[in-house]
A = this chain, B = another copy of it.
Amino acid sequence: MANFSGTIEDREEIRDLYARYADTLDNHRYNEWLDLFTDDGSFESTRFGKHEGRAGLEKFTRVYRDSLGGAQARHVITNLLFTIDGDAADASCYLLYSHCKEGRVQQSTVANYRDKLRRVDGRWRYQSRKVCMDGRA
């Protein structure tokens, strides 16, 4: 018996979910980003507060986009760790966030995510994401 939870396929899909989260957000493909959450999904951060449900998350994307002021954001995701239990999973990862403008990194943050995932309509999605900042560089 394998020393990890869930199937290899589940694990591959969840890994993919994490890369897609950053890819869609950093490239302003907000509709695709919204589809990575469950209908009642939530996102919470120290800086932006808590946003829930499709309408709440959609509003967050507008606030977030404005906050960038034209900078290129990069959500560098590492240290993904998760435990799958049927159609639910607890997960965490590390985040190195940077904010680039005019060829310079203007902001750099170390943080971590605590997530709850749920499989809905055959796809793993975020039910809740909470990002906690450790510090700014």
List the interface of chain A (C-beta within 8 A of B).
Answer: 2-4, 8-9, 11-13, 16, 19-20, 22-23, 72, 74-81, 92, 94, 96, 98, 100-106, 108, 110, 112, 122-124, 133-137
A104 to chain B minimum Cβ distance, whole angstroms, is 5
**Interface SS of chain A: helix, strand, loop or mixed?**
strand
CB-CB nearest in chain B for A22:
B79
Neighbour of A136 across the interface among B104, B112, B122, CB < 8 A = B104
A107 to chain B minimum Cβ distance, whole angstroms, is 10
Known: A19-B79, A77-B79, A81-B16. A98 touches B3 (CB 8 A): no
A-B contact pairs, 14 of them (CB 8 A): A2-B13, A3-B16, A3-B122, A11-B12, A19-B80, A19-B81, A23-B79, A72-B134, A74-B110, A98-B110, A100-B135, A103-B133, A103-B135, A103-B136
